[in-house]
Structure 1
Amino acid sequence: MRISLDWLKTLIPTDKPAAEIGALLTGSGLEVESLEELESIPGGLRGVVLGTVLTCEAHPDADKLSLTTVDVGDGTPRQIVCGAPNVAAGQRVVVALEGAMLYPAQGEPFKIKKSKIRGAASEGMICAEDEIGLGQSHAGIMVLETELPNGTPAADYFGLGSDTVYEIGLTPNRADAASHYGVARELRALLRQPCHLPDVSGFATPASAAANIGVTIEDTEACPRYAGLLLENVQVGASPEWLQRRLRSIGLSPINNVVDVTNFVLHELGQPLHAFDAGQITGGRIRVKRGDGFLQFQTLDDAVRTPNSNDLIIADADGYPMALAGVFGGKMSGVKDGTTRVFLESAYFNPSVVRRTSQTHQLKTDASFRFERGTDPNMVLVALQRAALLLQEVAGATVAAPIVDEYPAPVLPATVRLRLPRVERLVGQYIAPERIRQILTDLEIEITDENPDAGDQDTWTLTVPPHKVDVTREADIIEEILRIYGYNNVALRPNNSASFLARFPNPDPEVTRVKIASLLSGQGFSEILTNSLTNSQYFDKEGEADNSLVRILNYNSVELNAMRPTLLHSGLEIIRHNLNRRQRDLKLYEFGKAYAQNEGGKYQEKNKLVIYLTGNAAGETWQQKSEKAAFHDLAGAVQQVLAALGFGGAASHPVQHAYLAGGLALLVHNQPVAQFGAVAASVLKRLDVTQPVWYAELDWDALSKKYKPTLTARELPKFPEVRRDLSVVVDSSVTFDQLRQIAQRTEKKLLQSVNVFDVYAGENLGAGKKSYSVSFTLQDFSQTLSEQAIDQVMQRLIGQFEKQAGALIRK
């Protein structure tokens, strides 16, 4: 929102510097994001003053030049060479002094320098109007009629004072400050200076009225108040310069005097207005009603719109729409060049109704911006009278009839009780009741009762004016007090403390997701995003439909007629696409949702993280040959994800997966969180994928729910670790994970890690047997391990392997 300081000063006179006013507004919650200095003309005529021509003689070496001396008010006459034919002694002129930067109406800017013209020194320039950007004439120098002293800045003579424009980041709760008068009210409390509304005392209605425009409000909840005024003899044309300058200062382009006045009043008082061509109001009556979803009309942006039953519209007597109430006007009923009779609308609309219409039709206007947040119902008539007086001034309008004001259910001010001890509790500092009373009075909040309960001297009953739409509770009142009192005036105490210990929230799901995505991307994986819609034929068995599938009723394509129950097939489609383009080495991952319905018909959606590996795990180089991606490449990626989430060492067991040719499941707290393995050949064939694919599916909902970010630290070990190796022969059904869990249960103090570095199965071991070469890392953080202690640990491990896994230890 842009606010002009020059405009603001017409409502609250102040001599405070612009920067100081900006700091005060920011401190009270109206954050000034930037200050912009505006000039009526480029350069602001800096270095240009009024002077008097003392002497004027012909130049000795040029027929068309004159040699003059000019008094510019500093006691030292300047010699200036002038080429204008009308220069003469005794004239009051405009003089550009040495160093002045001029911006002519035509051509490039230039700087005035001391120079010699045909051998004569020239210390400035006597100016024509086009040379300083004030007009187009170059017939001669400007000759002034003024009693102002020499040396007076030319900008003062021409009324070209500069302006400062504030860019205010208006928050949604400050609808009361969405205008120049709203900001002036804020400054009244901050500066303790009176502000005033524009004078509308000159408004009057005629003794005998013409036929007026009637108003009927058919939905008083959506439109509690609607007022209008009929004007005649309107001459639509360009606005005067002062009005155009006001609008340009806040970034608006002038259109015509009628529209410009409505925009001016909106930004001055915060009350949106709309001007109808009275000749287009069929039946001489306005109906404020809901749309019917059938009748269309063309809006001012040339779009054809159909108001629905949720939209409030301004219609004529026949119910034909003329405007979307509070949002946008219609083209047919809008003011045109030939319009002579205008009906001005000023109303109060329900914020939620305007907000819904604005969102439905994707229309954001200055009017909807204010109506959506809440306007002041008491400003309706003031704005209407202000606009009428301005149109009389700039468009020759005459008031044709009395104001029509339909206000069946007046909007009442809010009543709030304020406990003075509560102010100190929430602010954290004592504020004297006299100061609180002063702040409330300056904010137009009335204290109606200082002792509502007998004997209670610390509770006040307050009446809050309707323009403060967001002040409805005691906490809101205290915020208003604190804003004006000043956040910077609340002292920080050395023993500040909170009245409770905040509970740290669960980790942000998006932060966790980015963390894991960064981990996988750092390992060479590429993230993909696939469609949640899929082909139901992937999952239906021959002659039998999958009842758990979520099917789309109004699908546009049979290939996208169901919500995917797994991310596997959509990922395989991506792999197929790449394989067909000779991109065979792929490492992919995706975060996405899978969908299903249970036997009761209720729908479920679950978040998943899936990982794909196909082709070579690493590219071929001169140092090593390329190797095909294998199960352990995928398992390593899954383990890294779990470790990053704090779930290292998850238990595992074989699992039968519908789409995998054998696989492994990982469990955290006895709950499966990941399944991975090779994609079944039948699935690959169905999707025309021509090479093996390794696939992992992680239950992201379960992992996110259990994930608690922790940071642990311990002192660096002072004593060395020890490694011991064993060759363990077991049945082929025994997994390394079983051996690892046995070792961790057996030795919990000294055993730091267990690793398998070789697996062998062959005729030498016998049928159904395999050998694991396992390393054990032992460490005591309090002392150096002795050989005796190490042997005791290893003997216990060997004993438990033999007992629990039927192992044979190879010597």
Structure 2
Amino acid sequence: DDTTSVLLESANFSPINTRRTRNALDMNTEASYRFERGIRAALAPIALRRATKLMLELCGGQAAKGIIDLYPTDREPPVVSISRRRIRQVLGVDYTTSQIEKTLTSLGFEKAKEPGGLIDLIEAVEAAPAAERNNTLWMKVPYWRSDITIEDDLVEEVARTVGYDTIPTTMLSTQIPHWQPQPITELKDVVKDLMVSAGMQETISYSPTTLDNLSKVDALDESNPPLRIANPQSSEWEYMRTSLRSSILNTLGSNRRIAQSDGIRIFEVARVYLPRQEAKERELPTEKEVMVGVLSGPRFTTSWMASQEDMGFFDAKGALEHLFTGLGIQVTYEAASDSILHPGRTASLTVGKTVLGVVGEVQPQVLEKFDLEGYPVAMFEIDLESLLQAASEVNISYKAASRFPESYRDLALIVDSDVSSASIQQIINRHGLVSDSTPFDVYEGEGVPEGKKSVAYRVVFQSPRGTLTSDEVDRFQGDIIRQLRRQLGAELRG
């Protein structure tokens, strides 16, 4: 009751500073929502006068003279140009200058003089030729329209005020470009989806790398060095990578430091940059689309229901089988060698005579360079251009599902150690009534002759014409065993 003097403040705040502070404090308020979107500075004195008037009307008293203004910048409303030329470009119609002025004036805009500053003059000359500048209006934006900043904003105001339904429908000035198929781009999307559905996670890394990283995975050819960036952002991004292997192993190392006891399944689809042999100055490298992936750590999360075995070669092979099945490709796995993969645990992937890539387990000495000791690491690398070639040759055919039940037999075969599972499975699947076959066990050791191995398959028989009897299944099984004995020297394990 003793208050005799009241000081009113009407403030405006910087939208950039308000937004940064809100993000830093993680505090959303009605005031931050309002001020971070920008409010015209001219509203502050108007609001101050309005508040003063209401206080005098409702409470009485006398207002002191003057307003103390501490706003740091010019409070003049912006001036934005609009031309008939731009309206024709955006709307496809031609309004007269008087129509444009009348429409904008009705919305509170005021006609202003053309800015006379040097910078404004340069911008005006660049915006339109001299003949068009006579058909250009400069409009002062009202203080309540903080959303008007560029010429196209004024064009939109004219269009919505005149009415979109008054704008005639016309054909495009040029033809719509023909759709150009991009098979490699479409394949990349399909491959990513299939790998994610197989339980893998996609990662993205920078294309530039260092010579040290490339040398760790034996991807550095001193006689033909990788492309060097003229002005790299840092010494760690100086050369364009010729292999994704170091990138994915670095990513695995970063994740392993955080999740030390979790299974990690990651892959990356990106380009590598292969320098051309005897390249001329300024000649660009060959760019190839490649996919690489790694699996490391426990196969299952810690649980009393699952064993704590580590992932290895067959886990990577399983992810690839899911990919190839989705693409309809029959891939052959053949023993191979690779400079960073473990001997005896490496296989090349081929379709006919086309080599798609390689899968195997990374050698321990290579893992040490990336601080990945403790868990085996299975890696695969696929050339997507070769994969596209193989996928484009796939002929998809359909057949009706059988109405009759399946019958299965488990076969344990003794074969030479160098006989591949794919060659055995090919002979089994060649039988007309075999609908599926799956290897489920491989054993070498006591009870199996030296130089031999035992491979067990589940063979599923199914006829489209009727239910198979036990005698019929036994006869078909005998036919398969005879074929395996004749071609591979296989014997049933006793």
TM superposition score category, shorter chain reference: 0.5 to 0.7
In 1, the alpha carbon distance for the partners of 2:285 and 2:154 equals: 39
Aligned to 1:530: 205
* Unmatched runs of 5 consecutive residues or more in structure 2: 1-48, 58-84, 134-148, 156-167
SS of the residue 2:299 aligns to: strand
Aligned to 1:730: 415
Aligned to 1:721: 406
Work out whether residues 548 and 599 of structure 1, in 8 Å CA contact, stay in contact via their aligned partners in 2. Answer: no
Aligned to 2:275: 597
* Matching of residue 785 in structure 1 with residue 468 in structure 2: yes
Q: Give the aligned residue type for 1:325.
A: V
Return the TM-score normalized by structure 1: 0.41
Partner of residue 429 from structure 2, selected from 739, 744, 756: 744
SS of the residue 1:797 aligns to: helix
SS of the residue 2:361 aligns to: strand
In the TM superposition, 1:141-290 aligns within 5 A as 176=88, 178=90, 182=93, 246-247=104-105, 249=107, 254=110, 257-259=112-114, 276=116
SS of the residue 1:694 aligns to: strand
Taking a change above 3 Å as real, the CA distance of residues 644 and 347 of structure 1, as seen in their structure-2 partners, is: same
Taking a change above 3 Å as real, the CA distance of residues 248 and 667 of structure 1, as seen in their structure-2 partners, is: farther
Q: How far does residue 653 in structure 1 lie from its aligned partner after superposition?
A: 0.4
In 2, the alpha carbon distance for the partners of 1:564 and 1:641 equals: 26
Partner of residue 572 from structure 1, selected from 233, 243, 249: 249
Q: Give the aligned residue type for 2:277.
A: E
Partner of residue 331 from structure 2, selected from 635, 650, 657: 650
Aligned to 2:391: 707
SS of the residue 1:775 aligns to: strand
Q: How far does residue 707 in structure 1 lie from its aligned partner after superposition?
A: 3.3
Taking a change above 3 Å as real, the CA distance of residues 791 and 326 of structure 1, as seen in their structure-2 partners, is: same
In the TM superposition, 1:65-214 aligns within 5 A as 176=88, 178=90, 182=93
Superimposed CA distance per residue, residues 600-628 of structure 1 (whole angstroms, 9 cap, x where no aligned partner)? 42621111222211111111113223221
Q: Give the aligned residue type for 2:341.
A: L
In 2, the alpha carbon distance for the partners of 1:554 and 1:809 equals: 66
Superimposed CA distance per residue, residues 327-371 of structure 1 (whole angstroms, 9 cap, x where no aligned partner)? 39xxxxxxxxxxxxxxx94348xxxxxxxxxxxxxxx9538999x
Taking a change above 3 Å as real, the CA distance of residues 800 and 553 of structure 1, as seen in their structure-2 partners, is: farther
Aligned to 1:623: 305
Taking a change above 3 Å as real, the CA distance of residues 471 and 776 of structure 1, as seen in their structure-2 partners, is: closer
Partner of residue 693 from structure 1, selected from 373, 377, 388: 377
Return the TM-score normalized by structure 2: 0.65
In 2, the alpha carbon distance for the partners of 1:543 and 1:810 equals: 48
Work out whether residues 219 and 243 of structure 2, in 8 Å CA contact, stay in contact via their aligned partners in 1. Answer: no
Superimposed CA distance per residue, residues 546-577 of structure 1 (whole angstroms, 9 cap, x where no aligned partner)? 51533334334333221111111111111222
Q: How far does residue 581 in structure 1 lie from its aligned partner after superposition?
A: 2.9
In 2, the alpha carbon distance for the partners of 1:542 and 1:807 equals: 41
Work out whether residues 327 and 365 of structure 1, in 8 Å CA contact, stay in contact via their aligned partners in 2. Answer: no
Q: How far does residue 593 in structure 1 lie from its aligned partner after superposition?
A: 1.2
In 2, the alpha carbon distance for the partners of 1:593 and 1:177 equals: 40
Aligned to 2:75: none
Aligned to 2:478: 795
In 2, the alpha carbon distance for the partners of 1:675 and 1:594 equals: 16
In 2, the alpha carbon distance for the partners of 1:596 and 1:722 equals: 52
Q: How far does residue 714 in structure 1 lie from its aligned partner after superposition?
A: 4.0
Superimposed CA distance per residue, residues 28-76 of structure 1 (whole angstroms, 9 cap, x where no aligned partner)? xxxxxxxxxxxxxxxxxxxxxxxxxxxxxxxxxxxxxxxxxxxxxxxxx
Superimposed CA distance per residue, residues 625-670 of structure 1 (whole angstroms, 9 cap, x where no aligned partner)? 32211221111111101111221x4111012122211311222243
In 1, the alpha carbon distance for the partners of 2:113 and 2:182 equals: 56
* Matching of residue 587 in structure 1 with residue 265 in structure 2: yes
Q: Give the aligned residue type for 2:235.
A: V
Determine what percentage of the aligned residue pairs are the same residue. Answer: 22
Bigger-Rg structure (1/2): 1
SS of the residue 1:346 aligns to: helix
SS of the residue 1:627 aligns to: coil
In 1, the alpha carbon distance for the partners of 2:387 and 2:213 equals: 28
Q: Give the aligned residue type for 1:520.
A: M
Partner of residue 612 from structure 1, selected from 287, 294, 308: 294
SS of the residue 1:628 aligns to: coil
Q: How far does residue 514 in structure 1 lie from its aligned partner after superposition?
A: 4.0
Work out whether residues 198 and 322 of structure 2, in 8 Å CA contact, stay in contact via their aligned partners in 1. Answer: no
Taking a change above 3 Å as real, the CA distance of residues 698 and 182 of structure 1, as seen in their structure-2 partners, is: same
Aligned to 1:492: none
In 1, the alpha carbon distance for the partners of 2:103 and 2:232 equals: 56
* Matching of residue 327 in structure 1 with residue 112 in structure 2: no
Partner of residue 755 from structure 1, selected from 422, 427, 438: 438
Superimposed CA distance per residue, residues 736-762 of structure 1 (whole angstroms, 9 cap, x where no aligned partner)? 1121123234x2x21212211222211
Taking a change above 3 Å as real, the CA distance of residues 655 and 178 of structure 1, as seen in their structure-2 partners, is: same
Work out whether residues 727 and 772 of structure 1, in 8 Å CA contact, stay in contact via their aligned partners in 2. Answer: yes
Work out whether residues 615 and 628 of structure 1, in 8 Å CA contact, stay in contact via their aligned partners in 2. Answer: yes
Q: Give the aligned residue type for 1:702.
A: S
Taking a change above 3 Å as real, the CA distance of residues 752 and 670 of structure 1, as seen in their structure-2 partners, is: farther
SS of the residue 1:771 aligns to: strand
Work out whether residues 210 and 237 of structure 2, in 8 Å CA contact, stay in contact via their aligned partners in 1. Answer: yes
Q: How far does residue 675 in structure 1 lie from its aligned partner after superposition?
A: 1.3
Work out whether residues 758 and 774 of structure 1, in 8 Å CA contact, stay in contact via their aligned partners in 2. Answer: yes
Work out whether residues 759 and 771 of structure 1, in 8 Å CA contact, stay in contact via their aligned partners in 2. Answer: yes
Taking a change above 3 Å as real, the CA distance of residues 624 and 248 of structure 1, as seen in their structure-2 partners, is: farther
SS of the residue 1:726 aligns to: strand
In 1, the alpha carbon distance for the partners of 2:455 and 2:113 equals: 91
Q: How far does residue 791 in structure 1 lie from its aligned partner after superposition?
A: 3.9
Work out whether residues 414 and 455 of structure 2, in 8 Å CA contact, stay in contact via their aligned partners in 1. Answer: yes
More helix by share: 2
Taking a change above 3 Å as real, the CA distance of residues 753 and 684 of structure 1, as seen in their structure-2 partners, is: same
In 1, the alpha carbon distance for the partners of 2:305 and 2:220 equals: 54
In 1, the alpha carbon distance for the partners of 2:89 and 2:233 equals: 49
SS of the residue 2:323 aligns to: helix
Partner of residue 314 from structure 2, selected from 625, 629, 632: 632
Taking a change above 3 Å as real, the CA distance of residues 366 and 717 of structure 1, as seen in their structure-2 partners, is: same
* Unmatched runs of 5 consecutive residues or more in structure 1: 1-104, 108-129, 132-136, 138-172, 185-195, 200-241, 260-274, 281-298, 301-313, 315-321, 329-343, 349-363, 371-442, 444-467, 477-501
Aligned to 1:424: none
Aligned to 2:82: none
Superimposed CA distance per residue, residues 115-174 of structure 1 (whole angstroms, 9 cap, x where no aligned partner)? xxxxxxxxxxxxxxx99xxxxx9xxxxxxxxxxxxxxxxxxxxxxxxxxxxxxxxxxx99
Work out whether residues 759 and 772 of structure 1, in 8 Å CA contact, stay in contact via their aligned partners in 2. Answer: yes
Taking a change above 3 Å as real, the CA distance of residues 533 and 727 of structure 1, as seen in their structure-2 partners, is: same
In 1, the alpha carbon distance for the partners of 2:86 and 2:459 equals: 67
Q: Give the aligned residue type for 2:402.
A: P
Q: Give the aligned residue type for 1:527.
A: E
In 2, the alpha carbon distance for the partners of 1:696 and 1:542 equals: 15
Aligned to 2:359: 676
Q: How far does residue 765 in structure 1 lie from its aligned partner after superposition?
A: 1.9
Q: Give the aligned residue type for 2:454.
A: S
Work out whether residues 726 and 809 of structure 1, in 8 Å CA contact, stay in contact via their aligned partners in 2. Answer: yes
SS of the residue 2:126 aligns to: coil
